[in-house]
Amino acid sequence: MRNLIDLGVLPVRISSGRYLRPHLSLIFRCENRRFTVGVDTTEGRKPVNDLLLITHAHSDHQGQRVMEFEHSVASHQTARALEIISGKTFRGTRFELGKKVEKDVLRLKTFETHHTPGSSAFFFENDLGTRVLITGDVKDFRGLPECDVLITEATYGDPDDPSCFFQDDIETLLSSAEESSAFGAYPFGKAQRAVRILRENGFDDEIQMDTLSLLLTRELLGDENLGKIEDSQALKIVSPRTLRFLKCRKKFVLSAQKFHNPRITLSDHASFRDLVKMIHHCNPEAVILYHGGSRAIKMRDYLRKLGYYALSLKDIEMILGDPYELSERFSGDF
């Protein structure tokens, strides 16, 4: 397999004072010019990326910190979610999920990842014809294309951790949806998925939600049979933090992670098995694991044993200053 230099893609970490900015940027050539794309990262006072790709609106993917830059790119739903969560206006480019986006000289194709409403993978080619796919967090990979360089997550990427092997328990979710029950779910992503599953399976009663979950779910799903938390027997979906304050007969947290309350397994991420299936499906020559902490290193090691050229963020050289300065050290392929 070719390495990243042969493929014409240079991953870099950007330093901001004492700290590295989140995740990474990519340097490559497009339409015979050098181009830098930020992947779920941030900018300093002087932007160093030509584009900032926002895969979804969760805070650990930095969308709130870059939504006011005009060179940010996000789906309509992601941009709207960021506006509701932050109270600010998204000033970048919005696109319809699944459609093509042209920004500057770069032509992007977008694909749904089903992690949150509006979550998007980005696909583009450089001047060498290398196909790059940036997924962000993924729940369902089946609609993703093949690529040469795959940049993806490893949230559940530890092959030795039993908690990384799970299946969503939709049946228990549905059987537990009854009067005076409450589900704990994160306000963006999990709460909307829980409502959608319930509605698709015939639950038509009012669902009461905490303020942020309610605003996001009404806006993103268009569900009108939702209400504020009241002292009634209605089913409730609130944040896990709010769950403990409710006086409900039954309380469950919707998660693949462990909580103090009883848990119903429902994750917005791919399990370890599905991450491996996704990588086989996309058939890349190189894989960069940019989200998942120490699990990304475990996933990297596992993929290397399978014969993949794989890197985690720990393998990317720490760079001080502007990535353009670094790129001058490389040949014309960049």
* CATH placement of domain 176-263: 3.40.50.12650
Residue 162 has φ and ψ, to the nearest 5°, of -60, -25
Domain boundaries along the sequence of the chain:
8-160+270-327, 176-263
Residue-wise pLDDT for 6-61, tens only, equals 999 999 998 877 778 889 999 999 999 999 999 999 988 788 899 999 999 999 98
Rounded (5°) CA angle 72-74-79: 105
Low-confidence residues in the chain, pLDDT < 70: 1, 318, 320-334
pLDDT number for residue 330:
46
Separation of alpha carbons 104 and 110, rounded Å: 16
Residue-wise pLDDT for 200-232, tens only, equals 999 999 999 999 999 999 999 999 999 999 988
Q: CATH number for the 8-160+270-327 domain, one of 3.40.50.300, 1.10.600.10, 3.60.15.10, 2.60.120.860? A: 3.60.15.10
pLDDT number for residue 46:
82
pLDDT number for residue 215:
98
DSSP-based three-state secondary structure for 261: coil
First-last CA distance in the chain: 19
Q: 């409450």: which residue's tokens?
A: 182
CA distances from 150 to 58, 203, 311 (A): 21, 39, 10
How remote is the C-alpha of 105 from its chain's centroid? 25
pLDDT number for residue 238:
97
pLDDT number for residue 18:
73
CA distances from 218 to 88, 210, 212, 266 (A): 19, 12, 10, 21
pLDDT number for residue 29:
97
For 162-182, the DSSP string reads GGG-----HHHHHHH--TTEE
pLDDT number for residue 321:
62
